[in-house]
Amino acid sequence: MELITGAAGKPHITPLQDSMWHRGIVGMENCVFNYFTNFEATEVSATQVRIGAGIGQLQGRYFCIEPNKSDNVTISNGTSGYRRTDTICVKITVNESEKTEAASWEVVKGTPEVVGPEWPAAPEIPQGELDSGSTEAYMAMYNVLIDGTSIYEIRPAYKTPSNNFELDPTGIINSGDDLDDYTDFGCWLSPSAAVTNTLKNCPVTGGGFSLRIMRGTGGASYRVQEMITWGGNRYFRAQRAGNWDVWKTDIGIAKLWENASPGSAFLPQTIKYKNNMTLSTGDWIAVRYVAFTGQYNRQIVFANVGDSFTMDNVTGSTGVYSGGYFATGRTGTANETGITFAGSYQSSAGGVWTRRDADNISVPTAVYLIGNIPTT
């Protein structure tokens, strides 16, 4: 163990110890703090972007441009008829021989594409973890959209620090962000429909929302995202083993399947939920059915995904039956993507179950999900 901030009679605090301290206070995320101009970027020419004063954190190392100062960053020339997205990054370089670290601007150049309906994606940013021994680390600051030989737009690519202690969102979600990447604890804000409509893996469009990221009960890597929309609707999902679940809403009922021919015989078969929806083991479903074709007295049976169920009836001596009352029914098994229905059956007068080849008994008419409703 080492005492970091106590007197040692000599310089002894390392960049690693300093970054550990700052990351423990601010968080692990790279960010730009709300100070002065927040590194405001302005176009100087088709190949020059000026960046104003601000302060930020890259892997626990603070970097800044002081008030009333600015830096100019050079962008490579564009090509007529092509579009490109370049990313202006802060780069920290470690000089191991001199045991020094320095910050600089670096532009990661995107791939030119012929003008089309979609803007070219931003380039991949090199990855490196200084605290684990890497000698370079990058933080995306701005995506520069180049149309032909001109700069079309300069979009922020950085994040502002999430606030782990208050519910007033201080982090702003940027246009084009992927919500799958939001795993740092805190509160974030999509300020308008113009931003929301560009987001990836977002369950809503048409307005802003607040987003809260929390730790769940599944361990240190478990994350929960909760979204409250401009209209007060709530959506949520969990990240398990690095993968996000589908977005869900609060408790409700959603139709998963409907029989297009409820008056016809129903052969043994497997039906799929609408939109290729995938449920979770233990989710509740309800199966609505009629005792036999031509009957309008609907019944319902409840089951959990992963379990089997029976659609039972006691049918009288009229209609398709004669000679007394019969116990009739059909079994089914609910799984994550659909339901497998067996053929229909009936009991004889002696209580012996027999297969009814007509398959006009216990005909399912609809299937519903009861619970937290997926948005897909």
Q: Are 141 and 65 in contact (CB under 8 A)?
A: no
Element at 22 (helix H, strand E): helix 15-26
What pLDDT, on a 0 to 100 scale, did the predictor assign at position 365?
94
Q: Are 334 and 304 in contact (CB under 8 A)?
A: yes
Q: Give the dihedral of Cα atoms 212, 215, 216, 221; nearest 10 deg.
A: 120
* β strands within 4-115, DSSP E: 31-32, 41-45, 48-51, 54-58, 61-65, 71-74, 82-95, 100-108, 113-114
Helix (H/G/I), strand (E/B), else coil: 144: strand
Which two tokens mark 139?
């933080």
Q: What is the 3-state secondary structure (H, E, C) of 222-266?
A: CEEEEEEECCCCEEEEEEECCEECCCEEEEEEEEEEECCCCCCCC
Residue 97 CA, chain-centre distance (Å), reads: 43
Give this prediction's pTM.
0.49
Q: Please count the residues of the chain.
A: 376
What pLDDT, on a 0 to 100 scale, did the predictor assign at position 159?
84
Q: Are 137 and 65 in contact (CB under 8 A)?
A: no
What pLDDT, on a 0 to 100 scale, did the predictor assign at position 220?
62
Element at 145 (helix H, strand E): strand 136-147
List 172's β-bridge partners, or say none.
Answer: 189
pLDDT < 50: residue spans in the chain: 164-165, 317-323
Task: Give the C-alpha separation, 261 to 326, whole Å.
Answer: 25
Task: Give the C-alpha separation, 92 to 104, whole Å.
Answer: 7
What pLDDT, on a 0 to 100 scale, did the predictor assign at position 170?
60
Rg of the Cα atoms in the chain: 30
HSE, CB side, 13 Å, CA atoms: give it for residue 32. Answer: 25
CA-closest candidate to residue 140, choices 180, 88, 179: 88
> Which strand ranges, in their side-by-side order, compose the sheet holding 41-45?
41-45, 48-51, 71-74
Which two tokens mark 319?
């209609």
Task: For each of the domains in the chain, give its residue range(s) and CATH number, in order of start.
Answer: 1-157 (2.60.520.10), 162-245 (no CATH), 252-374 (no CATH)
Which two tokens mark 342?
């067996």
Task: Give the C-alpha separation, 305 to 283, whole Å.
Answer: 5
The position carrying tokens 């532009």 is 107
